[in-house]
Chains A and B, each alone.
Chain A
C-alpha cells in the first residue's frame, strides 16, 4: 500500500557516510500520509568476493568485533560460452523457485540484492527465512550473500519522476549487476541476472551483464536435466505446449487491492481464514468476528482456488442462496467435476451494490441467530496462502506409460481437504505408487488445478519408512538428525557426565559458579513411576511424614535448562521443534538423545540435577507452604505403574520408601477428589495402543489403554506442581509468564450434540459451568449400554475448545482459567525433556527464585508471542501426527484380520452414516451405496437424525438413528486412487 520516492539532496556527513531523505506517501484507510525517513548511504559495503583486493581494506567490524566473511569464490562455476560467473537473483525468482535455490547441485555464488530480500520479506516471511538461512549456512558450498545495494553509495538509485516503484526496484537490481561487473572487471568474473520478468530482461539487454530467464539459466547448466525436475511450474504458456489442460474452465479473477481495502472498510467484504470441511472438500467455512457462526463457502467457483487455511476475503451471496451446512460427504480423490451440481451455481455477484450488501450482512447475522440456514459467501481474494510442501502420489490414470519424456500428471495429496496438483515430470512412470513430495507454484485462474513441481521421492507406498516420513512431512514435524552446531552445545563429557559428588568442592564451583545455589537432596527417598520401558524419566517424587502430622511432598523434574542455555543453537532447535513427537514405531525427540535418555533422565541409583518443588501438605492435602529450588537428587528406584501398585498393595513392605509411596497415593486421592468437586472434567478419547512384535517390529494387536491408580498418583502431583509453578512465575513476571489456558466451550459447539441427545435419549448436557458440565456428563448413561457414557464423552471432547499456551500479558487474569482442570491458572513445568513450554517455565522459575537472571527472550512480549504461537502449532501437529500413525498401524493390523465388531453411529448424513468402532478407535463413513441398492428409496430425516433405506440382502426397510449400536464388518482396503489404507466399514 505504499508508494515510495526519494527526494534529492544528499548531504555528506563524514568520510564515507552520506544522508538523504526517503519520502513516501502511504495510503491507509483512505487517508494519505507523507512519511519522511532518513536514509544513510555508505562506501564501506564490501562485494564479499574473494577475488577482490579492494574491499578487504574498507570493511569495518560489527558490534561483536567480527569482520564480514568473504564468501563468493574466486573461481566460480564455469559455464560454456559464458565463463566464470556470479548469479544475481530477482525477487520473483526467489519467491517462485526457493526449492531450486536450495538444491545443492545448482546455484552457487549467488548475490541477493537487499532490495530483493526486502521484497521477499514483505511478500512471504517463510521464504525470506529460507533465503536468510541459505545465506547463513551456505558459506562452504552454495555461497549465497546479501549485498546491501540500498545502503551503498555506489549502487543506490533515486526514483525518477513518473517511475513506478517496481521499475525503480528493477533498475536498482540492474545497477547492482552493473556495479559488480565493473568492480570485478580485473578477475573476469561475469554477472548473470536471473529474472523471469521479460521487461526487466529487455531493459537490461543494452547493459554489459548477461540476463537469463530461470529456464534459460537452468538450460545452461551441465546438469540441467536433473535440475529441471524441480523447476517451478508457473505458467503453461511458457514452455508447456499441450492444450489439454487449458480448457474453457476459468475461475473468477481476484478483486484488486483498492477494491478490497474499500470493501473491508465499508463492511461489504470480510476477512478470515478458511477451513475446508473434513467431509466435503467443496465446502469451506470462514470465521468472521462479527458473525456468531462461520459463513459457508460452497462450490468450486465460490471457493475460487482457496486452500485449507488460507487467509481469504469473502463477499456474501444473495439471500436466496443461503443454505444449511451440507449433509453430504465428498472428498477430493473421488470427485469428478461433471457430477457436481454446484458448478451451475455461479452468480454474477457484481450486480449487487455495496449498500445492498451491507443490508445482506445484517440479514445474515439475524439468520444465523434464528435458524439453521447459514449465509453463504464467495472468495474474492486470497491475501495470504498457506502453501507448503505436500506429500502425495501420482494418479495412475493421469500417466501415459507408453511414451517416455516429460509429461503433465496429477498428484493426489494425502490431505483429502486439498485438490490435486498438476506437475510436469519425465519420471512419471518411475514415480508411480511412490510417496512423493511436491511443492505448489501457482494457480492461474484458467487452470482448474494448481500447478506444482516434484521435489523428492520418499519411497514406495506402504513401506513403513516412506509412510512414516510422509506422515512427518505432512504434519510439518522436523525429523532430520540434530546438526553439528546443536550437538556441540552438549557437555563434552557425553555419557560420562557426572553430577559433582561434593557441591562445595572448589573445582566444581569454579566450573559452575551456580552450583553453590543448588540444594543437596540426595538424602531424600525419591522414586519415579512411569510406563514400563520408559527411558526418558523427567519426573520423580518423594513424601515424608513430618513431626506435626503434615507431609513433606516433593516433585523433582529433570533440570534440562542446566544443559539447554537460552540463546544457544541447542535452545533454538528445541524452541523450533517445540515438542517431541510420539509415533507408534518412532519417537522424534525435541532434544538430543544424550540429554533425554541419559543426563536429564532421573534414572535410579545415580546423581542427577533436578528442579524441585517441595510442599508442606496438611492431612487434607491443602498446601501449607511451597518451596522451589534447583537440586541434586538420587532416585532410589524406577517403578513401572504396575510395580508401584504391587509395592503399595503389598502389606509386608513397611520400609520408608513404601510408606512414602502410600502417603503419596492417599494424598493424590484427596487431591483428585478436590479437583473433581471443583468441576474438573473427565473426558474421553478413544485412545488405543498398538503392540509391536518385538522381533519383526510388525504391528501385532491393538489394545485400548488402561489406567491404574498409580497413573493418577503421578498425574495429580504433576498437576499440583504445574499450578504452584504457574502462580510463582506469574507473580514474578506478570507480563510474560508462560502459561496454559483452556477456554470454556461456546454453547453453539454443543448445539447439535445436545439436539441429538434430546431427541434420541431425552438427555442434555449443561454448559453453565464446568462443574455442571461434568455432572450432566455423569448423568448421560444408558442402563442397557455401559459404553454409551464413554461415547458421549468422546463426542463432547470434540465440542471442547483446544487448550493453548500463552504469555500472561496476552489475556486478563480471568481468562487464564483452565476449564478442563477447573483451576484459575496453569502451566506446563513437568516435562522439559519433551515440551518447550516447560523449558521456558523452568527458566522463568529459576529467574523468579533468583537462581539465575532470566534471558531477555523470555521477558519480551513479542518473543513470547512467537514462542507461544510456534509451540501451539507444533503441539497440535504432534497430536495429529501421533493419531495418523496409530491410524496407519491399525490399518495394517486390520489388514490381516477382517472381523465383525460393535460400532456406534455418531453422525447421520444425507448419503451415509459415520460409525465409530471403539475396539480399534477407528471411525469411518459408510456410504449410502454400500447400504442399499436403491439409493433413491432412501430417506434422510434431518430432525430425527434418521436415515431410512432398503437393506441390500434382505430387502427390508431399515432405520438407522444416531447413537444406534450396530454390528459392522471391518476390513482394511487400500484405496487405489490415494494409495491410502483405511478402514472400510460395512453394516451387518
Chain B
C-alpha cells in the first residue's frame, strides 16, 4: 500500500503533476568539450545524466573493427550515489545495466549513419549522477544530444519517454515512486514521425490499453524533441554569434 494517492480522483499525481505533464526538462550540450568529441548534460526531473561521445576513432581492439561500418559501443555507469540509498556494488555487470546497454545500442544502430564511418569505433560513455524513474528514456535523450554535438550523422532525433498505466489512466513521464507502483512502457520516437525505434514494456500492459498509452507517449516524446531542438538552436545561435564576433 502506497503511503500516498498515486493518482487522486481530482486528477493529480504524487508530485502534483497532471496525467499528461512532463517533468522539468533541462539540457545543454558541449559541456565537456575537452574530454570528448560530443557531450551533453541532461536533467529530466531528478534524473541527472552526463554523456560523452568519443569518435569516430580507431578501435583499440581489432575485434571491434568492421570493414563496412562503424561499431557502436555504449557504456552506462550508474554511480553508487545515484539513488536515495547508497548502493554497495558498482552496478557494472548487473543484468539490468547490461540489458539497458544492449537496448541502447540496438536503438542507435538504426539511427546513426554508421556506414559513413567504416573501420571506426564510436564510443559513448554515460554517467548517471542521480536517478528518479524512467531512466532508460532519459538515457536515450541524452545520447541523442551528445551525438548531435559530436557531429556524427543521424537520420533524425530520437526522443524517448516513459509512461505508466495507473488502472486505466496513462501517466506521462513517471518518477521512481510511480515506476515502482505500476506497469510502465518506454518509447523511443524518431523525429516528428510516429515511428518507434524502441518499445520496452516492464511487466504486463493489457493490449486494449496500449493504444492510449502509445498515443500520450508519442505526444510526450514529440514535446521532448521540441525542448531538445529549442536548446540546440539556442546553442547554435550562441556559437554562431561567438564565431562571427571573432
Q: For the complex, give the distance between the alpha carbons of A567 and B19 in Å.
A: 20
Which chain B residues lie closer than 8 Å to A19 at the CB level? 23-24
**Cβ of A38 and Cβ of B24 under 8 Å apart?**
yes
Residues 1-44 of chain A: 1 if any B CB is under 8 Å from the residue's CB, otherwise 0? 00000000001010001010100000000000111111111100
5 contacts between A and B (CB under 8 A): A38-B24, A40-B16, A63-B20, A567-B168, A859-B206
Chain B's nearest CB lies how many Å from the CB of A587? 33
**Cβ of A62 and Cβ of B19 under 8 Å apart?**
yes
Interface residues on B, range: 35 or more
Residues 936-969 of chain A: 1 if any B CB is under 8 Å from the residue's CB, otherwise 0? 0000000000000000000000000000000000
Instruction: List B residues 18-54 near A (Cβ within 8 Å).
Output: 18-21, 23-24, 45-46
Q: Is B8 an interface residue (CB 8 A)?
A: yes
**Cβ of B16 and Cβ of A41 under 8 Å apart?**
yes
**Cβ of B16 and Cβ of A150 under 8 Å apart?**
yes
Q: For the complex, give the distance between the alpha carbons of A135 and B9 in Å.
A: 10
Q: Is B141 an interface residue (CB 8 A)?
A: no
Candidates B15, B183, B204; contact of A39 at CB < 8 Å: B15
**Cβ of B46 and Cβ of A38 under 8 Å apart?**
yes
Whether A853 contacts B16 in the complex (CB less than 8 A), given A63-B169, A121-B4, comes out as no
Which chain A residues lie closer than 8 Å to B240 at the CB level? none
Instruction: List A residues 83-132 near B (Cβ within 8 Å).
Output: 117-118, 121-122, 125, 132
**Cβ of A125 and Cβ of B1 under 8 Å apart?**
yes
Which chain A residues lie closer than 8 Å to B11 at the CB level? 62-63, 68
Closest to B203 in A: A860
Q: Is B67 an interface residue (CB 8 A)?
A: no
Chain A's nearest CB lies how many Å from the CB of B189? 20
Q: Is B211 an interface residue (CB 8 A)?
A: no
Taking A17-B21, A40-B21 as known contacts, 15 extra A-B pairs with beta carbons closer than 8 A to each other, sorted by chain A number, are A21-B46, A35-B84, A36-B84, A37-B132, A37-B177, A39-B16, A40-B16, A40-B17, A63-B170, A122-B3, A146-B8, A146-B9, A146-B10, A148-B16, A860-B183
**Cβ of A853 and Cβ of B207 under 8 Å apart?**
yes
**Cβ of B5 and Cβ of A121 under 8 Å apart?**
yes
Question: How many chain A residues touch B (Cβ–Cβ < 8 Å)?
Answer: 39
Q: For the complex, give the distance between the alpha carbons of A35 and B177 in Å.
A: 12
Q: Is A136 an interface residue (CB 8 A)?
A: yes
Closest to B17 in A: A40
Q: Is A60 an interface residue (CB 8 A)?
A: yes
Q: Is A352 an interface residue (CB 8 A)?
A: no
User: Which 6 A-B pairs give the minimum distances between C-beta atoms?
Assistant: A40-B16, A62-B11, A151-B16, A63-B19, A63-B169, A856-B206
Chain A's nearest CB lies how many Å from the CB of B219? 13
Chain B's nearest CB lies how many Å from the CB of A173? 17
Whether A37 contacts B10 in the complex (CB less than 8 A), given A13-B24, A122-B3, A151-B16, comes out as no
> Which of B10, B16, B183, B206 lies at the interface centre, i.e. has the most chain A CB atoms within 10 A of its CB?
B16
**Cβ of B3 and Cβ of A121 under 8 Å apart?**
yes
Which chain A residues lie closer than 8 Å to B169 at the CB level? 63-64
Q: For the complex, give the distance between the alpha carbons of A254 and B132 in Å.
A: 38
Q: Is B12 an interface residue (CB 8 A)?
A: yes
Which chain B residues lie closer than 8 Å to A63 at the CB level? 11, 19-20, 169-170
Residues 842-873 of chain A: 1 if any B CB is under 8 Å from the residue's CB, otherwise 0? 00000000000111100110000000000000
**Cβ of A118 and Cβ of B4 under 8 Å apart?**
yes
Q: For the complex, give the distance between the alpha carbons of A363 and B175 in Å.
A: 48
Closest to A59 in B: B11
Residues 45-65 of chain A: 1 if any B CB is under 8 Å from the residue's CB, otherwise 0? 000000000000000101110
Q: For the complex, give the distance between the alpha carbons of A125 and B195 in Å.
A: 44
> Which of A21, A33, A40, A121 lies at the interface centre, i.e. has the most chain B CB atoms within 10 A of its CB?
A40
**Cβ of A853 and Cβ of B206 under 8 Å apart?**
yes
Which chain B residues lie closer than 8 Å to A146 at the CB level? 8-10
Chain A's nearest CB lies how many Å from the CB of B84? 5
Chain B's nearest CB lies how many Å from the CB of A146? 6
Chain B's nearest CB lies how many Å from the CB of A23? 11
Q: For the complex, give the distance between the alpha carbons of A150 and B5 in Å.
A: 13
**Cβ of A38 and Cβ of B8 under 8 Å apart?**
no
Which chain B residues lie closer than 8 Å to A856 at the CB level? 165, 167-168, 206, 209
Which chain A residues lie closer than 8 Å to B16 at the CB level? 39-42, 148, 150-151
Residues 205-224 of chain B: 1 if any A CB is under 8 Å from the residue's CB, otherwise 0? 01111000000000000000
